[in-house]
Amino acid sequence: MTYFNRRAERLIREALARGDLENLPGKGKPIDLSEYFKTPEKWRIAYDILKSAGYIPEEMELKKEIENLKQKLQTSSDSEKDNLSRVLNETSMQYNMLMERYKKKK
């Protein structure tokens, strides 16, 4: 076992003893890796680093926005639906164009 591994193990044991790892989000639930495996393999490490730094890639922001707009559309009044539909279509088109650019770079 290397020095790094021994040090990491010691730090984990100390954190467990202090109870620092008791109230983590998602504790006791399976990890959802579906988004991870949807990401092209060559981009996974970069995305993980960016995610850890609090940065969300543009396509992920667009996907979240699309989902939010779909939910709003279901609960909106008739007067709001036209505007929300227009914004949803524009956002979806922006997302699709971005994904096409990524495909061309492969």
Write out pLDDT tens, residues 41-94: 888 888 888 888 988 888 888 999 999 999 999 998 888 989 999 999 999 999
Q: What digits encode the pLDDT tens for the residues 37-55? A: 888 888 888 888 888 898 8
Q: Where are the domains of the chain?
A: 9-105
- Is residue 95 within 8 A of residue 59, CB to CB? The reply is yes
Global confidence as pTM: 0.54
Give the 3-state DSSP-derived string for 1-14, with helices as H, strands as E and coil as C: CCHHHHHHHHHHHH
Q: Would you mind telling me the total number of residues written for the chain in this entry?
A: 106
